[in-house]
């Protein structure tokens, strides 16, 4: 299995700080939660995302401009190139949302969150509000839990009896908890 391309080093300016874009740590973290030990090389319809065509380590039309067609087979090299470009695009959307320079790991975990729920959602989140007050501990905690202790960002919606309802997803809760844990351990 080819891993994330660790030879490419790009930077992004976030609230005046220069951080690594698409850091090797982030790319490994995304692979862990998106596809496990091996990239998914055959495009599939992600049931939890409403049959959204998905490939590699979570590439969808929401993060890449390359068409993704169910059943198509991708190579590891194509995945690496597309993932690197897509992560940098997501980070370019996320960077202006930070008003206080974050530690690298905070930026990486905010990126993981944005990769999964969308940059605009992460930018408007309680986690970002805390990051922008310089309260990185609270921001990291808010990636997975609200201030009342309730699990957040761990639900998908579906239609039941003509009504849209939220469905708790343990896998998303596990990912959010790992983002929080990694975020807290990495900067404190």
Q: What is the CATH number of the domain that holds 147?
A: 1.10.530.40
The pLDDT of residue 9 is above 80: no
Provide CB contacts within 8 A for 72, sequence distance 6+: 42, 43, 55
Helix, strand, coil abundance in the chain, percent, nearest 5: 45, 20, 35
Q: Is residue 29 one of the residues assigned to a domain?
A: yes
The pLDDT of residue 148 is above 70: yes
Cα separation, 146 vs 33, in Å, equals 22
| Token pair belonging to 112 | 């993981």
| Token pair belonging to 157 | 């919606």
Instruction: State the pLDDT at residue 72.
Output: 97
Angle between helix 76-94 and helix 104-117 axes, rounded to 10 deg: 110
Domain hosting 183: range is 10-35+81-187
Q: Is residue 160 one of the residues assigned to a domain?
A: yes
Instruction: State the pLDDT at residue 8.
Output: 53
Instruction: State the pLDDT at residue 188.
Output: 65
Instruction: State the pLDDT at residue 10.
Output: 87
The whole-chain average pLDDT of the chain stands at 92
Q: Is residue 31 one of the residues assigned to a domain?
A: yes
Tens-digit pLDDT profile for residues 67-82: 999 999 999 999 999 9
Mean pLDDT of 179-183: 97
The pLDDT of residue 143 is above 50: yes
pLDDT-based confidence at residue 187 (cuts at 50, 70, 90) = confident
Instruction: State the pLDDT at residue 87.
Output: 95
Q: What are the C-alpha distances in Å from 60 to residues 34, 105, 115? A: 11, 24, 10
Burial of 76 (0-12, 13-18, 19+ CB in 10 A): middle
Q: What are the C-alpha distances in Å from 52 to residues 106, 128, 187? A: 28, 27, 34
Q: In Å, how far from its chain's centre is CA 160?
A: 28
Instruction: State the pLDDT at residue 47.
Output: 87
Q: Is residue 64 one of the residues assigned to a domain?
A: no
Provide CB contacts within 8 A for 23, sequence distance 6+: 104, 108
pLDDT-based confidence at residue 4 (cuts at 50, 70, 90) = very low
The pLDDT of residue 1 is above 60: no
Instruction: State the pLDDT at residue 5.
Output: 45
Q: Please tell me the total count of domains within the chain.
A: 1
Instruction: State the pLDDT at residue 74.
Output: 97
Tens-digit pLDDT profile for residues 28-64: 999 999 998 889 999 999 988 889 999 999 999 999 9
Q: What are the C-alpha distances in Å from 149 to residues 72, 142, 175? A: 42, 9, 16
Q: Is residue 67 one of the residues assigned to a domain?
A: no
């Amino acid at each position: 299995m080819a891993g994330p391309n660790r030879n490419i080093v790009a930077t992004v300016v976030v609230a005046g700080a220069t951080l690594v874009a698409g850091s090797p740590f982030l790319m490994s973290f995304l692979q862990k939660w998106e596809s496990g030990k091996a990239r998914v090389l055959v495009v599939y319809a992600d049931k939890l995302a409403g049959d959204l065509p998905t490939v590699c380590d979570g590439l969808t039309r929401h993060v890449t401009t390359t068409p993704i067609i169910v059943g198509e087979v991708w190579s590891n090299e194509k995945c690496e190139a597309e993932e690197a470009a897509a992560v940098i695009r997501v980070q370019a959307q996320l960077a202006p949302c930070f008003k206080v320079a974050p530690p690298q790991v905070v930026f990486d975990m905010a990126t993981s969150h944005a990769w999964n729920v969308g940059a605009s959602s992460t930018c408007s989140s309680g986690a970002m509000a805390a990051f922008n007050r310089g309260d990185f501990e609270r921001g990291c905690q808010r990636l997975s839990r609200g201030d009342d202790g309730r699990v957040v960002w761990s639900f998908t919606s579906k239609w039941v009896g003509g009504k849209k309802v939220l469905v708790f997803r343990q896998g998303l809760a596990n990912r959010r908890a790992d983002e929080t844990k990694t975020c807290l351990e990495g900067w404190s």
